Amino acid sequence: MKAKLVTEFIGTFFLYLIISLSALAGFAADLAPIAIGLGLTAIVFASGFRSKAHFNPAVTVAFFATKNQPAKESLFYCIVVIAGAVLAAYAALIIAPTPLQAIIDNSTGFQHSESFQLIPAIFSEFLFTFALVWVILNVALAKGTAGNGFYGIAIGFVVATGAFSVGSISGASFNPAVNVGLLIHQVIDLKLFAIYTVTQIFAGLVASFIFNSIEPKK
Amino acid sequence: MKAKLVTEFIGTFFLYLIISLSALAGFAADLAPIAIGLGLTAIVFASGFRSKAHFNPAVTVAFFATKNQPAKESLFYCIVVIAGAVLAAYAALIIAPTPLQAIIDNSTGFQHSESFQLIPAIFSEFLFTFALVWVILNVALAKGTAGNGFYGIAIGFVVATGAFSVGSISGASFNPAVNVGLLIHQVIDLKLFAIYTVTQIFAGLVASFIFNSIEPKK
Amino acid sequence: MKAKLVTEFIGTFFLYLIISLSALAGFAADLAPIAIGLGLTAIVFASGFRSKAHFNPAVTVAFFATKNQPAKESLFYCIVVIAGAVLAAYAALIIAPTPLQAIIDNSTGFQHSESFQLIPAIFSEFLFTFALVWVILNVALAKGTAGNGFYGIAIGFVVATGAFSVGSISGASFNPAVNVGLLIHQVIDLKLFAIYTVTQIFAGLVASFIFNSIEPKK
Amino acid sequence: MKAKLVTEFIGTFFLYLIISLSALAGFAADLAPIAIGLGLTAIVFASGFRSKAHFNPAVTVAFFATKNQPAKESLFYCIVVIAGAVLAAYAALIIAPTPLQAIIDNSTGFQHSESFQLIPAIFSEFLFTFALVWVILNVALAKGTAGNGFYGIAIGFVVATGAFSVGSISGASFNPAVNVGLLIHQVIDLKLFAIYTVTQIFAGLVASFIFNSIEPKK
């Protein structure tokens, strides 16, 4: 299990590092969804064969719910991916202190924008977390795609399209570990953190329920 | 067939959701063709092994015409992909009510722009729907590419390049199910809906006729 | 050979159609290299298994020079890809008459810009046509990549990076068939057409000479 | 070994040529990370099967440290990739003399910008060189990905995401051979060259140490 946990930690560290630098600090400007999508594609290809490249507790819960991961390993996955996101949040503050500290000091994070609306945000997080988990289950667990060489692209690109589609509505987290980073950078508050986390885990469970209903039994 | 229909429904739902948010609502601005191309790539990779990932009645008609899909299944495919697009059109109105309702209320949809010209638009829809169906037949049905791992990229990228090339001319639908969504969002009217749909199905049939003439018989 | 020629014709038709609409007519603006790269990736994946997806006489000459294509087939390849580019040039004029006719009428094509300089342009065409043919030979003919599923990406992406790197210097043709289209659209004149064509074929021959010197004999 | 060295030379030549034209000369503007990422993807796919596509002494040192490359070959790799970058630096000056000479003459290179800060720059080079080498080791040496067809994408995309994330902080070199090019173009001075080179090689060694600790022994 050590190899899996090291892989999950490193992967989620870089996922949130890329998100915070390219999107929050604004270094990739309007191209942030591409920066994140390409980065995630690369890390997933480098990690999938060891750990299935969750980097996301909503995915881990979906794997657990579909009986594709034992409880103890699922728990450890959740712990290390959150640790990776936390460490990345502080690493980003070292690399880009000015823009990130400005967000924290002036409460200019996503949730504080005037255009923020709760219902569209929750609905966006639900739909695109569903899409993310649906894609992952089909490219990482389905019999019909066993041994495929495109899982990194499928996972990286679905996050990119989600960031393009609802980035301005919900901030495009789709991931409770990312929520933790966004909380540290004060882009979302504790209440929205809780709402997003519940929504994302629920979306993952809905995706795994539908997946189970159409995937042939082993 | 249940697995196929569920997969087609979910895929087309997200295809039109991404189109309406990134392109119509303008959330991806000039990058909308990339947002749509990456999203379609991801969903096709997650779906192709179950349903061949049509998400498009022009593709279904082409499969039927090349005797690669029975009549009844073809019909059900058309029904569920249209249902997916319709549901997505209303989901997009919940997520992005302001920009989408403005298009509907003020008749600022694509067809109403001053630069719209019918003949170039129809010719564009014909050529790029032909290209889309040509690519799909070659990566999803041809003997020579059986078992390939690039079909999602080929299909997603041909739609992206079409959207870049003729998005400003025809709106870049290439898909009768997308036409339905565009009709609900009042980007096109019923007459153009009919013209586009006939053109796209005809383009798919031309592509399948040429495909059949060069593909070795089974 | 019919299947090969049909495939080469359709592929080159769409290659030049995408170039003229996204880059010349300006519909993809600064993203034209991406539009072209994604489009070429898709078409190559749909065509490579039938015709090796040359779409380019410089590639055909390189295949002929490395004894990977007989003389007669090479000649027919050159004829149909030029025919495809010619037809695409006129199709583009139907779709986008205003911007393309303006280039023709006002001599505002690439070569007429004040910043155009011949030596850097020729050197750019040499280097990136070399890169293109080098990539194609290695992903389409080398023993070590036989049966790979990435040739479309390698070929599409090397053209995209060339268009980003020297698009403003040489116009980024890298392809005698594209030269023909550019001549019709009066972006280059007959003299530059000849210089580019000789340069590109020479670059392809240099690439195939180096390729032959390191590739194990069959 | 000749085939390997020719491949490494050509690959690194084009890598630095693309970097200097798209990013330094500014021809790809904000899209430079994409231009570089797509170009690297293409060259790696065309080269990986022959030489493992290092193009980077930090990668070569990591291969040597993990006992995956003999000392003599490692040394020759470093020599030819540096030679490739040097030649590319001068080729770029022929293609784009005006913008590149302006950087040299006016000391407007990256390091001379007012916003440059040493600690964030070093930390950025450390983290993303680690990510690059981590990805390469996992897609080019790990048992679990043997024979995969995605290594070019993984390597090209991790460099693209790094360029998006820290391009404005460190210049996004991640590669001692690129440092040499940047030194010739006077974007960095000799002192920063030394600091970056040590940092990158150290990052590669840390990545290979962690890789070795989780990769099953042969």
Put simply, the answer to whether A7 touches D169 (Cβ < 8 Å) is no
The reply to whether D36 touches chain C by the CB within 8 Å rule is yes
Q: How far is D213 from chain C (nearest CA, A)?
A: 30
CATH topology of domain A2-214: Glycerol uptake facilitator protein (1.20.1080)
C-alpha torsion angle, residues B127, B133, B135, B136 (rounded to 10)? 160
CA distances from A93 to A16, A33, A98, A115, D124 (A): 12, 20, 8, 26, 12
Please give the pLDDT value at position A218.
Answer: 65
Put simply, the answer to whether A149 touches D148 (Cβ < 8 Å) is yes
Please give the pLDDT value at position C113.
Answer: 84
Nearest to A137, CA basis, from A127, A151, A149, A150:
A151
In this complex, the residue of A2, A14, A94 whose CB is nearest that of residue D131 is: A14
Put simply, the answer to whether C18 touches B165 (Cβ < 8 Å) is yes
Which chain B residue shows the shortest CA-CA distance from A169?
B95
Query: Which two structure tokens, joined as six digits, stand for A123?
Result: 């609905």
Please give the pLDDT value at position D114.
Answer: 84
> Residue C97: how many CB atoms within 10 A of its CB?
13
Give the number of C-D residue pairs with CB atoms closer than 8 Å: 121
Cα angle B52-B81-B131, degrees, rounded to a multiple of 5: 55
pLDDT band at A217 (very low <50, low <70, confident <90, very high): confident
Q: How far is D215 from chain A (nearest CA, A)?
A: 8
- How far is the C-alpha of D211 from the C-alpha of D205, rounded, in Å? 10
Put simply, the answer to whether C210 touches D6 (Cβ < 8 Å) is yes
Put simply, the answer to whether D91 touches C123 (Cβ < 8 Å) is yes
Q: Best of D128, D135, D157 to disrupt the A interface by mutation (most A CBs within 10 Å)? A: D157
The subunits that touch chain C, with at least 3 C-beta pairs less than 8 Å apart, are B, D
C85 contacts C12 by C-beta, under 8 angstroms: yes
A139 contact residues in B (CB cutoff 8 A) = 45-46
Which chain A residue shows the shortest CA-CA distance from D129?
A14
Average the pLDDT over each of A144-148, A214-218, B201-205, C95-99 and give the range with the smallest value. Answer: A214-218
B27 contacts A164 by C-beta, under 8 angstroms: yes
User: Residue B217 gets which letter from DSSP?
Assistant: P
Put simply, the answer to whether B42 touches A214 (Cβ < 8 Å) is no
Q: Please list, in sequence order, all residues whose beta carbon lies within 8 angstroms of the beta carbon of residue C161, skipping any fewer than 6 positions away.
A: C33, C37, D18, D22, D35, D36, D38, D39, D42
Q: Best of C21, C100, C159 to disrupt the B interface by mutation (most B CBs within 10 Å)? A: C21
Q: Taking residues A57-79, what's their average pLDDT?
A: 96
Put simply, the answer to whether B94 touches A123 (Cβ < 8 Å) is yes
Q: Taking residues B116-137, what's their average pLDDT?
A: 98
In this complex, the residue of B6, B35, B95 whose CB is nearest that of residue A169 is: B95
C103 contacts C109 by C-beta, under 8 angstroms: yes
In this complex, the residue of B42, B94, B150 whose CB is nearest that of residue A158 is: B42
Put simply, the answer to whether C30 touches D35 (Cβ < 8 Å) is no
- Whole-number mean pLDDT of chain C? 96
CA distances from D121 to B167, D110, D175 (A): 41, 11, 14
D8 contacts D55 by C-beta, under 8 angstroms: yes
Q: Please list, in sequence order, all residues whose beta carbon lies within 8 angstroms of the beta carbon of residue A198, skipping any fewer than 6 positions away.
A: none
D28 contacts D173 by C-beta, under 8 angstroms: no
Single pTM value for the model: 0.97
- Whole-number mean pLDDT of chain A? 96
- How far is the C-alpha of A193 from the C-alpha of A183, rounded, in Å? 7
CA distances from B149 to A123, A148, B213, C47, C135 (A): 32, 7, 25, 15, 20
Which chain D residue shows the shortest CA-CA distance from C147?
D149
Please give the pLDDT value at position C218.
Answer: 65
Rg (CA), chain D: 16
Confidence check: pLDDT of B218 > 90:
no
D58 contacts D174 by C-beta, under 8 angstroms: yes
- How far is the C-alpha of B21 from the C-alpha of B37, rounded, in Å? 14
Query: Which two structure tokens, joined as six digits, stand for B185?
Result: 């969002």
C3 contact residues in B (CB cutoff 8 A) = 214-215
A5 contacts A80 by C-beta, under 8 angstroms: yes
Q: How far is D135 from chain C (nearest CA, A)?
A: 18
D14 contact residues in C (CB cutoff 8 A) = 127, 131
Q: Best of D4, D6, D45, D150 to disrupt the C interface by mutation (most C CBs within 10 Å)? A: D45
B110 vs A185, more confident: A185
B131 contact residues in C (CB cutoff 8 A) = 14, 42-43
Please give the pLDDT value at position D18.
Answer: 98
In this complex, the residue of B10, B18, B95 whose CB is nearest that of residue A161 is: B18
Confidence check: pLDDT of A175 > 80:
yes
Please give the pLDDT value at position D218.
Answer: 65
Q: Taking residues A178-188, what's their average pLDDT?
A: 97
Question: If you search the block for the tokens 């950025």, which residue do you land on?
Answer: D124
User: Residue B162 gets which letter from DSSP?
Assistant: H
C14 contact residues in B (CB cutoff 8 A) = 127, 131
Contacts with B, A 112-171, CB within 8 Å: 119-120, 123-124, 127, 131, 134-135, 138-139, 142, 144-145, 148-151, 153-155, 157-158, 160-162, 164-169
What secondary structure does DSSP assign to A93-109, as a single string?
A: HHHSHHHHHHHHHHT-S
Q: How far is B148 from chain C (nearest CA, A)?
A: 7
Q: How far apart are the first and last CA of chain A?
A: 24
Put simply, the answer to whether D27 touches C166 (Cβ < 8 Å) is yes
Which chain B residue shows the shortest CA-CA distance from A140?
B46
- How far is the C-alpha of B176 from the C-alpha of C12, rounded, in Å? 27
Contacts with B, C 3-22, CB within 8 Å: 3, 6-7, 10, 14, 17-18, 21-22
The subunits that touch chain B, with at least 3 C-beta pairs less than 8 Å apart, are A, C
- How far is the C-alpha of B13 from the C-alpha of D208, rounded, in Å? 44
User: Residue C188 gets which letter from DSSP?
Assistant: S
- How far is the C-alpha of C134 from the C-alpha of C125, rounded, in Å? 14
Put simply, the answer to whether C22 touches B165 (Cβ < 8 Å) is yes
H helices, E strands: number in chain D: 9, 0
Per-residue pLDDT tens over the stretch B165-186: 999 999 999 999 999 999 999 9
Query: Which two structure tokens, joined as six digits, stand for C102?
Result: 């303006």
Q: How far is D74 from chain A (nearest CA, A)?
A: 23
Which chain C residue shows the shortest CA-CA distance from B41?
C42
Please give the pLDDT value at position C112.
Answer: 87
Residue ranges of chain C with per-residue pLDDT less than 70: 218
For chain D, 218 residues long, the average pLDDT of each consecutive 10-residue run is 97 98 97 98 98 98 95 98 98 97 90 91 98 98 96 98 97 98 96 98 98 90
Query: Which two structure tokens, joined as six digits, stand for A31?
Result: 């191209």
Q: How far is B124 from chain A (nearest CA, A)?
A: 25
Query: Which two structure tokens, joined as six digits, stand for B54?
Result: 């049509």
A158 contact residues in B (CB cutoff 8 A) = 38-39, 42-43, 46
D178 contacts D19 by C-beta, under 8 angstroms: yes
The reply to whether A93 touches chain D by the CB within 8 Å rule is no
Query: Which two structure tokens, joined as six digits, stand for C74?
Result: 């090479």
C37 contact residues in D (CB cutoff 8 A) = 38
A34 contact residues in D (CB cutoff 8 A) = 34, 164
Per-residue pLDDT tens over the stretch B87-117: 999 999 999 999 999 999 988 888 888 889 9
- How far is the C-alpha of C77 from the C-alpha of C84, rounded, in Å? 11
